[in-house]
Copies of this chain bind each other. A is one copy, B any other.
Amino acid sequence: MGYEQLWLDYTRKVSGRETEGIIYICVGIPDAEKDALIQNSVKELQEAFAGMVGRELTLRQEGSAGTGAAQARTGEGREIRLVRREGMRVESYHLYCEKGDIVIEASDSRGILYGAFDLIRQVKMENPLHLLDRTNAPLMPMRMLDHWDNMDGSIERGYSGESFFFVKDQIVIDERTRDYARLAASVGINAVVINNVNVKDAATWLITDRYLDQVKQLSEVFAGYGIRLFLSLNYAAPMELGELESADPLSEEVRGWWHERMKKVFGKVSDLGGFLIKADSEGRPGPFTYGRTHADGANMLAEAAAPYGGTIIWRCFVYNCMQDWRDYKTDRARSGYDNFMDLDGKFMDNVILQIKNGPMDFQVREPVHPLFGGLTKTNQMLEVQIAQEYTGQQRHLCYLIPMFKEILGFRTYVKEETDTVMDIVSGRTFGQRNCGMAAVANTGNDDNWTGHDMAAANWYGFGRLAFEPELTAEEIAREWIRVTYGNDEQVEETMMFLLMSSWPAYESYTSPLGIGWMVSPNNHYGPSVDGYEYSRWGTYHRADHQGIGVDRSHEGTGYAMLYRKPNASVYDDKEKCPDELLLFFHHIPYTWKLRSGKTVIQHIYDSHFEGVEIVDEMVEQFMALQGRLPEAAYERMARRFLEQKEHAREWRDQINAYFHRKSGILDEKGREVY
């Protein structure tokens, strides 16, 4: 086993004090031996205790006397008790201490599993167990990871090695598959899409006999950890499989094909959660080809999947990717809204629209997608990306949970109360059950799973946040540090500084004031101010000698008006628009005074110098951890931090040089701008 166990590493010992006397694990659940989730919960607790406190927990199975493994309690010693209690919310658990015993109560087995992982976290953090009284219900029904793994083993926008799901067009199921499921489940993930939504070549065949046995096997491994397997689907599968000439969603032949296909697939893989679809986007086929709507397309699939409890997750990432940069009217930012708003209420209940956090594409700063607060009669899911495609690609540290917190906390004004994005995607706003949050995953077959060791905080943090959105980014960070690296205070404080500084620093030394897209085309790493300026992707900054920014006000593309009041009037007005989004919404002279009191150009210079200073401080503080972290991990991280330090300078100098050369305005502090 060459790879790491991350926050489930049980080789790190904890002080025995809190767990003293715990020698039993008691399963008070009928028929538990047939329940893979309970069995896995027990196994996890046993392995955790064996590893961390060096104690084998003796299993007692209540109500099924005579099973070989179970033994009677002698009266001495404490126990961990797993108990079924009816009437609790789905997936929730109550973890508490009762007369020295630790009780995990839940009405379903997922709740038990989540309680077990929570207990393990408490032990890892050496929290006082006798005070335990945690009732915890996941706020979001769907907590999903979207892998962009290609079946040839590559990963689109993957920065952590190759796929561990696929090798050479085959599904791989081994020890690492189980460990992946454990890691994901331990932070509350309950749904996983294993293949790239840009379905390519082999992936079209996943719903055929060629792969269904393997899909079934994988779904069972996942099910043992409460995870439903989803597949990305090729909308044009009936054609690409060579069985039909059309994929028209209103064609009876096509509908019949899908009914048969779903029958076959779910008949074989009963645990399957459903499908993720990207249609009519970036070259993917879709209903537009036949003059149909996305509702037509999604509902056709949903109808076929409904009898089996299958869910269709339909991406709203639909835009014209053949735009003319000379065209100042067409606005990619509008496209998701314009394509889907009219369809509100027309989707079946087992359809969820998956909406990216912002209207563009995972930039370091974007406004919240206006479909949130726009749609009122449609199931919605928030899609974020922890793969860091545009935020340093797991070579730069960029802890994204603070960004996600901001997004979730955004008030849409769709109602007077419970109107935030968090309210909407947790189902509170409209009383929906099919909703939640998905992240484009950041794992690969690197030993440390995520390239940058600290990028694991995004994986961990995403799961924890989707489960308990009320946690602060700081709380999640601190928890991740302690369960991963133990309870060394210097490590904790340093890593807190690193994590919490990282997103603001990255924003500072990269693209200013919400404008985004100043990255090298295609690979999206490193600065290239004009890299996407004269392209077909709808991603422009419109910088000229006098100013920069895209006029999306009512006088421009009108995008700002897609929000509800008062958001629309705030964004529409350059005097009121928040600084950090100013250039997203307005074309602004370099000499314009920001609300901060600085001119735009001076803000650009200052933020870029400051961003690099923060990185320098980060790197210095990290280096001081030598000896306090496992050596291999320290070395890996040190290399990346040194790259970040150098690369942040490259960002700073290129951006500053670009704007200095373009505006002709000098840095008022006289620093070196090339």
Contact = CB atoms under 8 A, between A and B. Distances in A.
A545 B673 CA distance: 14
A663 interface: yes
Contacts of A521: 520
B661 A545 contact: yes
A326 B653 contact: yes
Interface in A637-660: 650, 653-654, 657-658, 660
A293 interface: no
Contacts of A530: 528-530, 658
A373 interface: no
A544 B664 contact: yes
Contacts of A626: none
A527 interface: yes
11 contacts: A326-B657, A528-B530, A528-B534, A530-B530, A530-B658, A534-B654, A544-B662, A545-B663, A545-B664, A546-B664, A661-B662
A326 B674 contact: yes
A498 interface: no
A325 interface: yes
Contact of A534 (B527, B660, B663): B527
A543 interface: yes
A303 B297 CA distance: 73
Contact of A662 (B326, B534, B545): B545
A660 B545 CA distance: 8
Contacts of A326: 653, 657, 674
A531 B521 CA distance: 10
Contacts of A528: 530-531, 534
Contacts of A531: 528
Nearest to A520: B521
On chain A, which size bracket covers the interface? 20 to 34
A544 B661 contact: yes
Interface in A257-299: none
Contacts of A543: 661
A660 B654 CA distance: 21
Nearest to A529: B530
Nearest to A327: B674
Interface in A517-570: 520-521, 527-531, 534, 543-546
A518 B242 CA distance: 45
A62 B529 CA distance: 74
Nearest to A527: B534
A211 B118 CA distance: 64
Given A528-B531, A544-B661, 15 more contacts: A325-B674, A326-B657, A520-B521, A527-B534, A528-B530, A530-B530, A534-B653, A534-B658, A543-B661, A544-B660, A544-B664, A545-B545, A545-B662, A545-B664, A546-B664
A465 B545 CA distance: 47
A307 to B, nearest CB: 50
Contacts of A654: 534
A326 B661 CA distance: 13
> What are the nearest 7 A-B pairs in CB distance?
A544-B661, A545-B664, A326-B674, A534-B654, A530-B530, A662-B662, A545-B545
Interface string A430-458: 00000000000000000000000000000
A636 to B, nearest CB: 24
A665 to B, nearest CB: 9
A58 to B, nearest CB: 59
A30 B332 CA distance: 78
Interface in A463-522: 520-521
A534 B546 CA distance: 22
A81 B479 CA distance: 94
A549 to B, nearest CB: 13
A531 B529 CA distance: 9
Nearest to A543: B661
Contacts of A650: 534
Contacts of A662: 544-545, 661-662
Contacts of A527: 534
Please indicate which of the listed interface residues A325, A543, A661 has the most CB atoms of chain B within 10 Å of its own CB. A661
Interface string A316-342: 000000000110000000000000000
A530 B653 CA distance: 14
A543 B657 CA distance: 11
A658 to B, nearest CB: 8
A487 to B, nearest CB: 44
A521 to B, nearest CB: 8
Contacts of A661: 543-545, 662
Nearest to A534: B654
A74 B314 CA distance: 87
A530 B664 CA distance: 17
A297 to B, nearest CB: 32
A452 B545 CA distance: 40
A578 B325 CA distance: 34
A546 B662 CA distance: 9
Nearest to A650: B534
Nearest to A661: B544
A650 B534 CA distance: 9
A534 B657 contact: yes
